[in-house]
Amino acid sequence: MTFTEKQTDPTAPTHWRGNMQADYLYPNGVAGDKFFKHLKNNDNFLATVCPDCEKIFFPPRLYCEDCFVEIPGENWIEVPATGTVRLFTTATINAHGKKMETSKTIGLIDIDKTDGAMLGIIKSSEMDKDLLGLKVKAILRPREQREGTIKDILYFEEI
C-alpha cells in the first residue's frame, strides 16, 4: 500500500522530470508608469488624492478603491521620500530554512503626508532596538544609475 510506505527518496517512484518555465514583462500600469518615471528623475515620491474622500494613495493609483472613482491628473501630488516605521521584523533564516549570513530587517513604512505605506528594507545604527515609530528616509540609487523601478529605492535609513 502506497499510503503506508515510508518514502524517503522522491525519485524512487517512476516519474517524468518537468518544470513550469514562464517569463514575464509586468507592465507598471498607468499610475505606476507615472510614479516610476518621476522616481527616476526626482528625490521625492508621487501620490494621488481621491477627489471624493480625499484619501491620499501611496503608491499612487488610478482609482479610489472605496469610492470607486477615477483619480484625475490634477489630483497627483508630490510627497517627501520620508516616513515612519509602522511594522518591522528581522529575518535570520531564508526561505530555504538556512541561516542567513547577515540578517535583514524589513518593515512597513507609512509615507509622510499620505495614507499609504510601502514595504522597505530598514537600516538603523541600533538594529537591536525597537524600530516602531522610527522616522526614516528613503535612500535612492544615485540618479544616473536609476532605472525607474522599485529597486531604485535601496533602503530606508533612520533620520
Partner 1 sequence: MKKDVAVIGGGMTIFRRRLKETGKELSFLAAKMAMEDAGIQKDDIDMIVMGTAPDAFDGIHMKGENLLDGAAGAGKPYVRVFNGGGTGVFAPIAGWWHVASGVADVCLVVAEEKMGSCYPHPQTAFQHIWDPVLDRPLHPNLVWLFAMEMNRYMTVHGIKKEDIARVAVKNKRNAVGHPCAQLADPNITVDDVLNSEMMAWPVQRLDISPPSDGAAALLFCSEDVVRQYTDDPVWVGGVGWNIDSTMWTNRDLYFPRYVAHAAKMAYKMAGIVNPRKEIDFAEPYDPFDYKELHHMEGLLLCDKGEAPILTREGVTQRDGDMPICPSGGLLGVGNPIAATMGQKVCELYWQLAGKAGKRQIPTNPRVGVGQAWGDIMQMATVMVLKR
- In DSSP terms, 140 is beta-bridged to 153
The C-alpha cell at 65 is 478603491
Question: Does the footprint of partner 1 cover residue 1 (CB under 8 A)?
Answer: no
Q: In the stretch 34-63, what mask flags binding to partner 1 with x, by CB under 8 A?
A: ----------------------------xx
Binds partner 1 (CB under 8 A): choice among 4, 10, 13, 22: 22
Q: Which span sits near partner 1 by CB under 8 A: 4-12, 18-26, 100-108, 150-158?
A: 18-26
Residue type, 20: M
Question: Does the footprint of partner 1 cover residue 12 (CB under 8 A)?
Answer: no
Please state the closest distance from residue 117 (CB atom) to partner 1, in A: 15
Question: Does the footprint of partner 1 cover residue 13 (CB under 8 A)?
Answer: no
Could you tell me which of 58, 57, 38 has the C-alpha nearest to residue 146? 38
Q: Using CA atoms, how far apart are residues 62 and 57, in angstroms rounded to an integer? A: 9
Question: Does the footprint of partner 1 cover residue 73 (CB under 8 A)?
Answer: no
Instruction: Compare residues 68 and 133 and give the one whose CB is closer to partner 1.
Output: 68
Are 82 and 105 in contact by the 8 Å Cβ rule? The answer is no
* Per-position b or e across 86-117, b if 16+ CB within 10 A of its CB: eebeeeeeeeeeeeeeeeebbbbbbbbebebb
Binds partner 1 (CB under 8 A): choice among 1, 4, 10, 16: 16
Binds partner 1 (CB under 8 A): choice among 5, 23, 128, 144: 23
Phi, psi of 50 (to 5 degrees): -65, 130
Binding positions for partner 1, rule: CB under 8 A: 15-16, 18, 20-33, 62-63, 65-68, 70
